[in-house]
């Protein structure tokens, strides 16, 4: 099959090669564009879920309270376990503090 393709390509003129390459590039870019659009939609959906979860958690925390030291310890354990001890849990801890802080302001 590859030899047949090489023979076909060898028989094309320069203009035909350029035209074929442009056709292939156009199809590839179209596919990449579709994939990128799908990924953007997925990221947007994740963002909406995160916003909703933060608000629900804020309401729950405002009613039930929170042991932030325990939460921070659990975050450190999960990040360390999930990264072989190489991960930095500070961002997740900051986010947890932000959610807890928002809950106390309501």
For the stretch 20-29, pLDDT in tens is 999 999 999 9
Answer yes or no: are the C-beta atoms of 62 and 103 closer than 8 Å. yes
Does the pLDDT of residue 4 top 80, yes or no?
A: no
Token pair recorded at residue 21: 């390459």
CA distances from 55 to 41, 49, 106 (A): 21, 10, 11
Local confidence band at 44 (pLDDT 50, 70, 90 cut-offs): very high
What is the distance between the alpha carbons of residues 75 and 94, in angstroms, rounded to a whole number?
11
pTM (whole model) above 0.85: no
């Amino acid at each position: 099959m590859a030899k047949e393709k090489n023979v076909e390509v060898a028989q094309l003129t320069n203009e035909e090669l350029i035209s074929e390459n442009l056709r292939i590039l156009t199809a590839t870019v179209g596919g990449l564009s579709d994939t990128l659009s799908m990924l953007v939609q997925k990221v947007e959906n994740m963002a909406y879920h995160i916003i909703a979860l933060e608000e629900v958690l804020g309401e729950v925390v405002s009613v039930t309270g929170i042991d932030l030291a325990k939460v921070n310890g659990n975050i450190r354990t999960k990040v360390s376990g999930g990264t072989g001890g190489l991960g930095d849990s500070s961002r997740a801890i900051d986010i947890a503090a932000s959610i807890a802080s928002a809950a106390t302001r309501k």
